[in-house]
Amino acid sequence: MTVDTDQVLVTGLGATTPLGGDVAATWAGMLAGRSGIRPIEEEWAATLPVRIAGRLAVEPTAVLDRVQARRTDRCEQVALVAAREAWADAGAPEVDPERLAVVIGTGTGGALTMLGQDDVLEASGVRKVSPHTVPMLMANGPAAWVSIDLGARGGAHTPVSACASGAEAIALGLDLIRLGRADVVVAGGAEACIHPLPLAGFAQARAHSTRNEEPERASRPFDADRDGFVIAEGAAVVVLERASFAAARRARAHAVLAGAGVTSDARHITAAHPEGQVRAVRRALRDAGLEPGAIQHVHAHATSTPAGDLAEARSIAEAVGTHPVVTATKSMTGHLFGAAGSLGALAAILALRDGVVPATVNLESPDPQVELDVVTGAPRHGRLTAALANSFGFGGHNACLVFTPAP
């Protein structure tokens, strides 16, 4: 292949989501318009105003060995599952461990361990608390476990940027390669925090959908009747490589990571602001050396909140225009928080590679204030030359990624 040695290629993809236990199943689910949102069956959900979530389609314990599963939090488990798939998909590159880095972002880290072990402490005392509690609850646990699993000695990093964490992890991976600090970076996001406390908090904040009687129709980005996001769990990971390194081993590439833009709003702890998003998109375009007109597809962050979707629609129109084909796959997967940005990036990469954009489901009454070409009904087919993946998070975190076709 003809290689621009300054390029950073995406050579591996991995995921475990409410739609499937790997990339193929997840992508097939997106193209089929299938929802991964289900009722929460546990008794603890009965008294909550929110009783729906995007649970994993395949339990990580079906993939990991018993001892490792017992010593890792669910967030760490999904990171390992996705990273192993991405690494295998990249052909398990033979790389100097000192030139291999890991960047796995998360929004809450080992929240299930922290809350669960606190319950144990209160009910049974200190002697019943697991000795693995701290390594299981720490936010850097997913990155640390993936680095151990792959033998990566070039750094293990953990962006914690709420729902922008996974995208910011990929942006940091791009920087590490460009700065000459690594030849290969395993980057993405992981999240697993379906628990009464987060659900109660989101319900009190009126951020979560309460369509408990019709879970598959609850997440409805850009729809006039949207009433909030749906919590979900999972992980999505990519393998990034210096183009010259990939060429030397004749690796296949899915896409080029052409640019990234990261900004902060510095305005409000939860309310997104279009201005910060516009700056992130423009930085990503400038970094990729592209004009707005070059972007033909946008994978929107679009969580299905009334204010958030509208803010993003306005920022896309201002920073890129109304010409791109837009989709919002959270309508099917729910909101994976710290893994949302990397899963959105993965969907954009596959849309670019395969020339097909999944439809946004549940978009039955389009919000008249959203002046975008949002795909509905059936996937949209056609060759794409550049794609933008948006990711935004509480705290005013904005991370946007630009991908172009593989050489």
Contacts of 292 (CB under 8 A, 6+ apart): 285, 319, 320, 321
- Asked if 261 and 83 touch (Cβ cutoff 8 Å), the reply is no
Catalytic residue at 254? no
Catalytic residue at 335? yes
Name the active-site residue from 157, 195, 208, 301: 301
Q: DSSP label at 379? A: P
Calpha distance 196→210 (Å, rounded): 14
Calpha distance 172→342 (Å, rounded): 12
- In the chain, the amino acid numbered 270 is T
Name the active-site residue from 163, 297, 397, 400: 163
What burial class does residue 369 get, using C-beta atoms within 10 Å of its C-beta: 0-12 exposed, 13-18 middle, 19+ buried? exposed
Name the active-site residue from 195, 335, 397, 400: 335
The residue among 275, 263, 261 whose CA lies nearest residue 388 is 261
Catalytic residue at 301? yes
- Asked if 244 and 183 touch (Cβ cutoff 8 Å), the reply is no
Calpha distance 212→190 (Å, rounded): 25
- Tokens linked to 2: 């003809």
- Which residues are designated catalytic? 163, 301, 335
